[in-house]
Amino acid sequence: MADPNSTKNIGLRGITVADTKISKVEGDKGNLYYRGYHIHDLARNSTFEETAYLLIYGRLPGAEELRHFTSQMILNRDLPDMMVHNLQERPATAGTMDVVQSAASLLADYDADPRDESKEANYDRAINLIAKLPTMVAYWERIRSQQPIVRPRTDLSHAANFLYMLHGQAPDPGVARELDVALVLHADHTFNASTFAAREVASTRAHMYAAVSAACGALSGELHGGANTRVMEMLHQIGSIENVDEYVKTTLESGNKVFGMGHAVYKTYDPRMFVLQPMSERLGKITGDTSWYDMSVAVMESTVKHFKRLKNADIYPNVDFFSASAYFYMGIPPHLFTPVFAFSRVAGWCAHVIEERFAEAQPKPQLYRPRAEYIGNYCGEEGCVYVPMNKRPGEPETPSS
Amino acid sequence: MADPNSTKNIGLRGITVADTKISKVEGDKGNLYYRGYHIHDLARNSTFEETAYLLIYGRLPGAEELRHFTSQMILNRDLPDMMVHNLQERPATAGTMDVVQSAASLLADYDADPRDESKEANYDRAINLIAKLPTMVAYWERIRSQQPIVRPRTDLSHAANFLYMLHGQAPDPGVARELDVALVLHADHTFNASTFAAREVASTRAHMYAAVSAACGALSGELHGGANTRVMEMLHQIGSIENVDEYVKTTLESGNKVFGMGHAVYKTYDPRMFVLQPMSERLGKITGDTSWYDMSVAVMESTVKHFKRLKNADIYPNVDFFSASAYFYMGIPPHLFTPVFAFSRVAGWCAHVIEERFAEAQPKPQLYRPRAEYIGNYCGEEGCVYVPMNKRPGEPETPSS
């Protein structure tokens, strides 16, 4: 058996695997920077389009650069007819993250030359993927609920256009800006599990579609992108603010988690929460129903209180906690929360794939190929010896024919 | 800038990330074991079906267990009609690994309940994926070359049935057994890049289809599964045995690699090569054309000689070197070599996903979330400050409206 004190690096926690210039998390101080810019500064001043440019190209664009980038995104919004047709043929029960994972891979079919490994080709693929992921999500949601798809508009922002394609009517500009900011907040977070999966696949020199598709697979897991959906399910389960304290108390005392509370990296408030909490509050007022926001605040306060009592430790809401009610107020159904996360984070995935392939850092990234400790069976010094079927325990000793 | 002597673990080389009971590589001695059985013992005595059972369930089956497992594989061979239809609608230029990556993900649509996380459901998914990957490859090859698809037979082995679906006629039983052995040899290799990608995705609790699809993406890269195709391209480029020494000499002297020679883990002969070399030789004799085998031997000998002269070091052929000519002799076109690798290695991927999710080892596996060292821009103590567009360098200072 393995020695529990061995040097195994379970989950790779604390293991530094590469240099990056894309983003930085200060877990102790509760700071997040994209390319050196604090997330609060970007949330206040930037847009998802500009933030995607910043992540991918490494600097803020000039006016003409941003105009060109945005117009390329707009031109790439719609899906090839065959991909729409493929969506129409999928069973209505298909999971949206499964749809996005396979659709990201299918996009490779329409690349002029998926083997073109130039930096320019990779920038074009990034624009294509960032532009199309929201369309995949909106089209699939309309198709599976037997509504006609709504083609993208060219006069709306990335965020507004998604809400338009989803709901069939142009959103309130204020609500669209709230989604825009939420997309800025979710666009990168250094080497999280999905980004690491994208880099891992890219490290073999597979193309960007293969890497982004793999990242969608990683994000779909409930320990990663699935968490914001679980927060909303929890709020629905609690039902009303009077039930909050009893629910939280019972959940924590029975050793279970309150979804959206606590983070592997932040040891204080997640900086994104300071943007998302007032966003949820504003959206509650706009929609005239503050109950989800109020219940979220009550769950947060109750969790902090009971966690302190039970563990004598502090716990803080993470990015998923207030994004759940915020998205819900925007009319986004909970099963689309993880796909919305995906079409924001895809900006980071593409930036990381480009960094993995074109990093100037020394030593350069290499194919990820870790070790594992073999703790299995050996049978004896020379290993197990293959026993023919008729000599195995319980098998009749038939003469071989 | 980063310190080149920092503790970064580029490519995770030498970093132990988990316990495993599935396979063990002894790089110094040139040994490979699946579940304690030496690869030579399995190649001599076992079949791909039995080896897949061994990898997934952890022990050799009894006769009834193997009969049941094999019949489940046979029953799962064909694809749902909609997936065949999807293949027919893809552009003929689509890459086969792209097709397999997206098709593995599409399979989730047809799972009775992809969120069923029981061990039994995972065993069923493994059988489904192992059974269907060869069908995806054969159907796609027939469709893209405008030939009618050939439905699987129920009376042929896994290997023989693939050659039947590919060529439209049942293969020579001796040739089918050679492919069967090649599939045994490629079925697992501990934490290689694609297997690690599968485990990484599974570590978020994403389902097996998401994980295997991601692994296909990793395998598609030319630094990983793409190598055997490159060996065959190299042999075609060399053209005839007289050109070998000059080709190898020029290639090595100009700092390039001879494909299929050298391995990241083995510091001696790759044990699989001892099976694949005589396999290629036998197949050359069966097909009456030994030229590809002879040329391979000449390339190997010339590479050893010139490598010794230039680097004063030994170099050995890896698993890709003789598998290239062996597959070619079986009538498998070179662009399918990596897909054939995929439908063998899928047995290992599925076993690793199950181990990642149900490991009894302590500490248990956790979501993979490594660190990266931020070496990017900061601008100043507090990070960069967002500059409005009209204040950026080169932009006209327009008054804001």
pLDDT tens profile A115-135 = 899 999 999 999 999 999 999
| Mean confidence (pLDDT) of chain A | 93
Amino acid making up residue B361 = A
- Phi, psi for A16 (deg, rounded to 5): -85, 120
Cβ atoms A104, B101 nearer than 8 A: no
Q: Could you give the strand order of the β-sheet that contains B31-34, starting from the edge strand earlier in sequence?
A: B23-26, B31-34, B37-38
Of the candidates B188, B203, B208, B21, the residue with the CA atom closest to the CA atom of residue B127: B208
A362: left (phi over 0), alpha (psi -120 to 50) or beta: beta
Alpha carbon of residue B56 to chain centroid: 17
- Phi, psi for B384 (deg, rounded to 5): -70, 155
Of the candidates B144, B175, B185, the residue with the CA atom closest to the CA atom of residue B34: B185
Chain A nearest CA to B106, separation (Å):
6
| DSSP H or E stretch at residue A274 | helix A273-287
Query: Which member of A13, A19, A369 has the closest CB to residue B264?
Result: A369
Question: What pLDDT does residue A78 have?
Answer: 98
Which chain B residues have a beta carbon less than 8 Å from that of A207? 220
Question: What pLDDT does residue A17 have?
Answer: 84
Cβ atoms A100, A339 nearer than 8 A: yes
Test B221 with A201 for CB contact under 8 angstroms.
yes
Within B37-186, residue ranges assigned H as helices are 39-45, 48-57, 63-75, 81-89, 96-106, 119-144, 158-167, 173-186
SS3 B370: coil
pLDDT tens for the 401 residues of chain A, in order: 334 445 577 778 778 888 899 999 999 999 999 999 999 999 999 999 999 999 999 999 999 999 999 999 999 999 999 999 999 999 999 999 999 999 999 999 999 999 899 999 999 999 999 999 999 999 999 999 999 999 999 999 999 999 999 999 999 999 999 999 999 999 999 999 999 999 999 999 999 999 999 999 999 998 888 888 999 999 999 999 999 999 999 999 999 999 999 987 888 999 999 999 999 999 999 999 999 999 999 999 999 999 999 999 999 999 999 999 999 999 999 999 999 999 999 999 999 999 999 987 666 668 888 888 888 887 776 789 999 999 998 888 765 54
Cβ atoms B234, B261 nearer than 8 A: no
From B158, B186, B189, B263, active-site residue: B263
Question: What pLDDT does residue A370 have?
Answer: 86
Judged against a pLDDT cut of 90, whether residue B284 lies above it is answered with yes
Between CA B41 and CA B59 the distance in angstroms is 14
- Phi, psi for A145 (deg, rounded to 5): -100, 20
Angle of helix A96-106 versus helix B208-219 axis, rounded to 10: 20
Q: How confident is the model at residue B363 (pLDDT cuts 50, 70, 90)?
A: low
Amino acid making up residue A211 = A
Q: What is the pLDDT of residues B18-30, one digit of tens each?
A: 889 999 999 999 9
Between CA B28 and CA B193 the distance in angstroms is 20
User: What percentage of chain A's residues is helix, strand, coil (to nearest 5)?
Assistant: 55, 5, 35
Between CA B75 and CA B170 the distance in angstroms is 19
Of the candidates A236, A258, A242, A237, the residue with the CA atom closest to the CA atom of residue A306: A258
Between CA A366 and CA B268 the distance in angstroms is 22
Judged against a pLDDT cut of 50, whether residue B4 lies above it is answered with no
Angle of helix A193-202 versus helix A208-219 axis, rounded to 10: 150
Query: Which member of B31, B85, B203 has the closest CB to residue A89?
Result: B85
Between CA B225 and CA B337 the distance in angstroms is 8
- Distance set, CA A330 to CA A30, A178, B195, B358 (Å): 27, 9, 39, 38
Test A106 with B114 for CB contact under 8 angstroms.
no
What is the longest distance spanned by two Cα atoms in chain A?
A: 83
SS3 A201: helix
Q: What is the pLDDT of residues A200-210, one digit of tens each?
A: 999 999 999 99
Peptide bond into A339 cis (omega under 30): no
Sign for the CA dihedral angle at A267, A271, A273, A274 comes to positive
Residue B263 is a catalytic residue = yes
Q: What is the pLDDT of residues A325-379, one digit of tens each?
A: 999 999 999 999 999 999 999 999 999 999 999 987 666 668 888 888 888 887 7
Query: Which member of B8, B45, B211 has the closest CB to residue A217?
Result: B211
A317 forms beta bridges with A261
Judged against a pLDDT cut of 70, whether residue B165 lies above it is answered with yes
Chain B nearest CA to A99, separation (Å):
7
Please identify among residues 295-334 of chain A the ones whose CB lies closer than 8 Å to any CB of chain B. none
CATH label, A228-327, candidates 3.40.640.10, 1.10.230.10, 1.10.10.10, 3.30.70.360: 1.10.230.10
Test B374 with A24 for CB contact under 8 angstroms.
yes
Q: What is the pLDDT of residues B89-146, one digit of tens each?
A: 999 999 999 999 999 999 999 999 998 999 999 999 999 999 999 999 999 999 999 9
Cβ atoms A47, A177 nearer than 8 A: no
Test A370 with B12 for CB contact under 8 angstroms.
yes
- Distance set, CA A3 to CA B16, B21, B24, B33, B361 (Å): 13, 14, 18, 21, 10
Q: How confident is the model at residue B7 (pLDDT cuts 50, 70, 90)?
A: low
Q: What is the DSSP letter of A150?
A: -
- Six token digits for residue A88: 């129409």
Between CA A14 and CA A264 the distance in angstroms is 11
Within A93-157, residue ranges assigned H as helices are 96-106, 119-144
Which CATH architecture does the domain made up of A23-223+334-358 adopt? Orthogonal Bundle (1.10)
Domain ranges of chain A: 23-223+334-358, 228-327
Between CA B26 and CA B40 the distance in angstroms is 14
| DSSP H or E stretch at residue B374 | strand B371-374
Judged against a pLDDT cut of 90, whether residue B212 lies above it is answered with yes
- Distance set, CA A198 to CA A74, A187, A300, B197 (Å): 24, 14, 33, 9
- Phi, psi for B155 (deg, rounded to 5): -105, 10
Between CA B329 and CA B321 the distance in angstroms is 14
Please identify among residues 243-302 of chain A the ones whose CB lies closer than 8 Å to any CB of chain B. 264-265
Interior angle at CA A157, CA A321 and CA A199, nearest 5:
60
Asked if the C-beta of B228 comes within 8 angstroms of chain A's C-beta atoms, the answer is no
Q: What is the mean pLDDT of residues B227-243?
A: 95
Of the candidates A95, A70, A164, the residue with the CA atom closest to the CA atom of residue A342: A95
Q: Which residues contact A215 (CB under 8 A, 6 or more apart)?
A: A194, A195, A197, A198, A201, A345, A346, A349
- Phi, psi for B25 (deg, rounded to 5): -110, 125
Between CA B112 and CA B129 the distance in angstroms is 14
Question: Exposed, middle or buried by CB within 10 Å (0-12, 13-18, 19+), for B359?
Answer: middle
Of the candidates A9, A128, A116, the residue with the CA atom closest to the CA atom of residue A79: A128
Test A18 with B8 for CB contact under 8 angstroms.
yes
